[in-house]
Amino acid sequence: MRPGGREGPRFLRWLAAARPLIPWAVLALLAVAVYFWGLGRYGLIDPDEGRYAEIPREMIESGDFVTPRLNYVKYFEKPALHYWLTAASFAAFGQNEAAARLFPVLFGLGGCLLTFVAARRMTGSARAGAAAAAVLVSSVLWYALSRLNVIDMTLTFFFTLAMLGYWLWFRGGEGAGRRPLLLFYAAMALATLSKGLIGVVLPGGIAVLHLASLRRWRAIPRLFSPWGIALYFAVVLPWFRAVCAANPDFFDFFFVHEHFTRYLTTEHGRYEPFWFFVPILLGGLVPWTGMLWDAFRAARGRGGLLRREDGLFLSLWFAVPLAFFSLSGSKLVPYVLPCLPPLAVLIGAAVEGILRGGAPAMRAGRRFACLNALILLPIVLAGAVYPALRPEDAYLRAATNPFCFVLTAFCLASFVLLRARTRGFLLLCLLALTALFVAGTGFDLMAARDSRRPIAAMLRERLRADDTVVAYGDLMQGLSFYLGRRIAIAGGRGELDFGAAQEEDPRWFLNAEQLRRLWNGPDRVLLAASRRRLEELTRDLGREPVRLGETEKEILFTNF
C-alpha cells in the first residue's frame, strides 16, 4: 500500500464534511473585513471618541494609570478598564484613530463569537449559532458602535460573557462544577471595571430573576458562590482602592453622582421619554427587525429548538436591561446595546426553524418577508426624503441614498429565503454586510462635521510652543488628543465641571473677563470657536478677532 494511502481518504472525508462550512467561513471573513476596513480613515468623532482617546493618551504621558484625567483635570465618570485597553493599543500601534478603535472592533466581533457559542449550545445546531452570529454582526447598531471608540461595546462584551457563564452553570445543574460560575463572576468584575455597578447589578439581577421565575429556590444560594464573590472583589477592588486613596472625592462623585443621581434625576440633561429605546432597538436590528415576531415565538418554545427555560432566560436577558434603562432619568442610544445578543440568539433559532423547511417554515418565511417590507421600505423612503426636508443635514444624502438602495435589495431578496433556504439566508447576510459597508461612508461624513482633526491640522501649522490654545463654546475633547497638549476652556466647563472646581490655575478655565484680558495681553492666542456662538464670542472679546481658517463646525481666530 502506498505510504499515506489511508490518509488520503481521511482527508477527503474531512474535506467533504467541511464543505458546507465554507460559505459560512467566507461570510465570517467578509464580516471581519467590513468591520476593520478604513478603521483609521476618519477622524475621532467628538465628544465620545475624543474623550476616550485623550484620557489614555494622558495616562501614557503622565505615567498615572490610576486617576483618569481629561484635558489634564480629574475625570471620574467611568472606571479605568477601557482606558487601559486603549492605552495598550496606543503603546502597540501608535496614538492614532485605528488604535483608538481597535478594542471596540475586537469586542464587537468577540461578542458575535459569544453569541454563536450561546445559540449553538442552546439549540444544539451549529447552523443556528452561525445564523445568530451573522444576524448580530450585520445589524446596524452593533456595527456602528463596534467602529467607534466608546465604552459600551466593552461593557456589552463582558456582559454577554457573564450571561454565557451563568447559563453554562445553570444548564450543568449541580454537576456543573465551579468554572462556569467563576467565569460569571470574573466577567461581571470586568464589566464593572468597564462602566460601573451596572456590570454586576444587571447580570446578577437577570440570573436571580431567572432562577426565581423557574422556582429554583435552592439554586439561588448556590449562585452566590463564596469563591465567585472573592474572585469578583479580587478583580475590582485593587483599582477602586487605589483611586479612592489617591482621590478622596472619587467615592462620592463616582458612586453617588454618576450612578444614583444620573439614574434618578435629569440633572445630566439626557432625559428622554420612557419609550425612547423601543425605536432605537427596532432600528438597531435593521435589517433583521422583521424576524422579531418569530424570535419571540422561539422564546416561548415554538419550533422545538429552544427549551422554554432557555427562552425565558433570553427574554429576561433582553427585557431587564431594556426596562432598567427605560426607567432611567438619563438615556443615550448605546445603553440598549446589551439587549442585542439575546435577540440575535432568538432570531438565530427562528432562522434555523425556517431553514429546516415544512409548512410552518414557509409561513414564517413569508411573515419575515412581509414584515421586512413594512419596516424597511419606510426607512428607505425616509432616507430619500429627510435630506430634502432638512437641508442643514444634507450631508447625510451621500450615505443614506446608497444604503437605502441596498436595503431595498435586501427587502426584495427576503423572498429568496422561502426557496433557497441556507443559500438564500447567506445571500441576505451578504446584502446586509454590503449595506453596512456602504453605510460606513456615514462615519466620514460624521467626522467631517464632528471631528476636531481638521481644526487641529490648522492649529499645528501655526502653533508655537509659547502660544495659548483656547476652545470656545464647546469642550472639543479631541483637540487635546490631536495637539498633544492642554487646551484652555472658555464659554462653559460642561463635563469638566468637577475637575475644573479643583483646578488651582485660573488660566485654563476662563470666564468672559479673563478671556478678554488674555486676548488683549502680550501673548499670542489661537482660539477655536463654535460657529453657533460667534456673536457671543465677539461680545466677550470686545473687538473683532482675526480669522485664520475655518471648518464646517469651527472657526480659528488669533489675537494678532
Average pLDDT over residues 202-219: 96
Across 111-115, 319-323, 549-553, least confident range:
549-553
Q: How confident is the model at residue 396 (pLDDT cuts 50, 70, 90)?
A: low
Are residues 520 and 560 in contact, defined by beta-carbon separation less than 8 angstroms? Answer: no
Look at residue 130 in the predicted model and tell me its pLDDT.
Answer: 95
Asked if pLDDT for residue 435 goes beyond 50, the answer is yes
What is the chain's alpha carbon radius of gyration, rounded to the nearest angstrom? 26
pLDDT tens per residue, range 160-204: 999 999 999 999 876 677 899 999 999 999 999 999 999 999 999
Asked if pLDDT for residue 395 goes beyond 50, the answer is no
Look at residue 478 in the predicted model and tell me its pLDDT.
Answer: 94
The DSSP-derived string for 438-481 is HHTHHHHHHHHHHBSHHHHHHHHHH--TT-EEEEESS--HHHHH
Residue 81 is placed in which grid cell?
Answer: 478598564
Residue 456 is placed in which grid cell?
Answer: 487641529
Asked if pLDDT for residue 419 goes beyond 70, the answer is no
* Closest to 555 measured CA to CA, from 475, 486, 483, 454: 454
pLDDT tens per residue, range 101-110: 999 999 999 9
Look at residue 473 in the predicted model and tell me its pLDDT.
Answer: 83
Look at residue 286 in the predicted model and tell me its pLDDT.
Answer: 86
Across 77-91, 274-288, 364-378, least confident range:
364-378
Give every CB contact of residue 540 below 8 A, 6+ residues apart in sequence: 490, 491, 512, 515, 516
3-state secondary structure string across 227-269: HHHHHHHHHHHHHHHHHHHHCCCHHHHHHHHHHHHHHHCCCCC
Look at residue 444 in the predicted model and tell me its pLDDT.
Answer: 80
Scanning the structure block, which residue is given the C-alpha cell 476636531? 452
The count of residues in the chain is 560
| Percentage of the chain modeled with pLDDT above 90 | 57
Scanning the structure block, which residue is given the C-alpha cell 463596534? 146
10, 59, 132, 271 from 285: Cα distances, Å = 42, 36, 12, 23
pLDDT tens per residue, range 66-87: 999 999 999 999 999 999 999 9
pLDDT tens per residue, range 28-68: 999 999 999 999 999 999 999 999 999 999 999 999 999 99
Q: How confident is the model at residue 524 (pLDDT cuts 50, 70, 90)?
A: very high
* Closest to 223 measured CA to CA, from 212, 235, 238: 212
Distance from CA of residue 136 to its chain's centroid?
13
Are residues 31 and 138 in contact, defined by beta-carbon separation less than 8 angstroms? Answer: yes
Look at residue 190 in the predicted model and tell me its pLDDT.
Answer: 99
Q: What is the DSSP letter of 544?
A: P
Look at residue 398 in the predicted model and tell me its pLDDT.
Answer: 47
Asked if pLDDT for residue 492 goes beyond 70, the answer is yes
pLDDT tens per residue, range 122-147: 999 999 999 999 999 999 999 999 99
- Cα gap 176→154, rounded to integer Å: 27
Asked if pLDDT for residue 266 goes beyond 50, the answer is yes
The DSSP-derived string for 312-351 is HHHHHHHHHHHHHHHT-S---GGGGGGGHHHHHHHHHHHH
Look at residue 502 in the predicted model and tell me its pLDDT.
Answer: 78
Q: What is the mean pLDDT of the chain?
A: 87
Are residues 461 and 36 in contact, defined by beta-carbon separation less than 8 angstroms? Answer: no
Sort 65 into a burial class: Cβ within 10 Å, 0-12 / 13-18 / 19+: middle
248, 444, 478, 484 from 460: Cα distances, Å = 38, 22, 14, 10
- Cα gap 394→149, rounded to integer Å: 25
pTM for this prediction: 0.92
Rounded to 10 deg, the angle between the 126-137 and 22-36 helix axes is 20
Average pLDDT over residues 6-26: 70
Across 9-18, 226-235, 483-492, least confident range:
9-18
The residue that leads in pLDDT, 91 or 256, is 91
Are residues 243 and 78 in contact, defined by beta-carbon separation less than 8 angstroms? Answer: no
The residue that leads in pLDDT, 396 or 378, is 378
Asked if pLDDT for residue 322 goes beyond 90, the answer is yes
Residue 281 is placed in which grid cell?
Answer: 432597538
The DSSP-derived string for 384-440 is HHHHHH-GGGGGGHHHHHHHHHHHHHHHHHTTHHHHHTHHHHHHHHHHHHHHHHHHT
CA angle, residues 406, 408, 410, in degrees to nearest 5: 70
Q: How confident is the model at residue 23 (pLDDT cuts 50, 70, 90)?
A: confident
Asked if pLDDT for residue 394 goes beyond 50, the answer is no
Q: What is the DSSP letter of 4?
A: T
Look at residue 6 in the predicted model and tell me its pLDDT.
Answer: 56
Across 42-51, 460-469, 534-543, least confident range:
534-543
| Percentage of the chain modeled with pLDDT above 70 | 87
- Cα gap 470→47, rounded to integer Å: 17
- Cα gap 259→197, rounded to integer Å: 8
The residue that leads in pLDDT, 430 or 333, is 333
Sort 260 into a burial class: Cβ within 10 Å, 0-12 / 13-18 / 19+: exposed
Look at residue 204 in the predicted model and tell me its pLDDT.
Answer: 98
Look at residue 238 in the predicted model and tell me its pLDDT.
Answer: 98
Residue 132 is placed in which grid cell?
Answer: 445568530
Asked if pLDDT for residue 159 goes beyond 90, the answer is yes
Amino acid identity of residue 484, one-letter, is G
Are residues 432 and 523 in contact, defined by beta-carbon separation less than 8 angstroms? Answer: no
Across 309-323, 423-437, 484-498, least confident range:
423-437
Asked if pLDDT for residue 445 goes beyond 80, the answer is no
Rounded to 10 deg, the angle between the 441-450 and 397-413 helix axes is 150
Measured on CA atoms in the order 66, 69, 73, 79, is the torsion positive or negative?
negative
Q: Which helix (H) or strand (E) holds 509?
A: strand 509-510
- Cα gap 537→122, rounded to integer Å: 60
What is the number of other CB atoms lying within 10 angstroms of the CB of residue 11? Answer: 11
- Cα gap 293→301, rounded to integer Å: 13
Across 222-231, 296-305, 385-394, least confident range:
385-394
Amino acid identity of residue 288, one-letter, is W
34, 54, 67, 95, 465 from 62: Cα distances, Å = 36, 12, 10, 15, 19
Residue 522 is placed in which grid cell?
Answer: 502680550
Look at residue 1 in the predicted model and tell me its pLDDT.
Answer: 43
What is the number of other CB atoms lying within 10 angstroms of the CB of residue 68? Answer: 23
Look at residue 7 in the predicted model and tell me its pLDDT.
Answer: 57
